[in-house]
Amino acid sequence: MLYNLLKLSHVLAIIIWIGGMFFAHFFLRPVAQEVLPPPERQRLMHGVLGRFFQFILALATWAVVSGAWMIGRVAKDTVQSGGQFQMPVVWMVMAALGLLMWAIFGHIRFALYKRLTQAVSGGDWPAGGAVLAQIKNWVAVNLTLGFIIIVVVYLL
Ligand code: HEM
């Protein structure tokens, strides 16, 4: 039961994380760029990303913790029943790429978003635009990694 709850919450956290990135990247950002001048666009993106990142910081961290917890439980049960635990390759790929996604999110949240806050509060729109472009690129990397993990989990 605990294992199932861990897995359910793990997958829900991932769905919200990836779904949120997908929405921001493919729908919110391009339309904001099309219809809003830089000051309004950057204020909007700063506000939306600030709320999203606060939520995702907890969810992404939970995805890592719940994933590690599930591995720990399976390893403990296997050893206690006299077997030898060998981590499945799919889990290794998921753990490695998942940690990479978490680190990239940390860079976006704690380095780039901080710079966006400074640019927006100082009215430095060229700097804000440059940081938003960097955030967009890193979000694209994380989306790609997320899709790779999903494909590996369900096809391997
Ligand atoms: C450090 C990070 C992560 C670790 C340690 C981890 C570990 C695990 C473990 C142990 C399971 C249970 C598998 C099973 O019972 O068969 C699982 C399930 C799953 N994980 Fe992760 N995971 C991590 C991050 C991610 C990320 C970033 C994604 C997607 C982008 C992801 C997607 C999934 C999915 C879809 C399942 C459910 C698979 C199923 O239906 O059986 N995980 N994860």
Is any atom of ligand 1 closer than 6 Å to the C-beta of 14? yes
Number of H helices, E strands in the chain: 6, 0
Is any atom of ligand 1 closer than 6 Å to the C-beta of 71? yes
What are the tens digits of pLDDT across the range 133-150? 999 999 999 999 999 999
Q: What is the DSSP letter of 82?
A: T
Q: Which residue's CA is the nearest one to ligand 1's atom 22? A: 67
What are the tens digits of pLDDT across the range 99-123? 999 999 999 999 999 999 999 999 9
Give the position, in ligand 1's atom list, of the atom nearest the Cα of 74. Answer: 10
Q: What is the pLDDT of residue 156?
A: 85
Distance 17 CA to ligand 1 centre (A): 13
Q: Which of 7, 8, 92 to mutate to test the pocket of ligand 1 (most atoms within 8 A of CB)?
A: 7
Domains of the chain: which residue ranges? 2-155
Cα–Cα distance for residue pair 39/124, rounded to 1 Å: 9
Q: What is the pLDDT of residue 91?
A: 98
What the block records as the tokens of 115 is 């710079």
Could you tell me the pLDDT band of residue 17, with boundaries at 50, 70 and 90?
Answer: very high
pTM listed for this prediction:
0.94
Give the position, in ligand 1's atom list, of the atom nearest the Cα of 68. Answer: 5
Cα–Cα distance for residue pair 136/142, rounded to 1 Å: 10
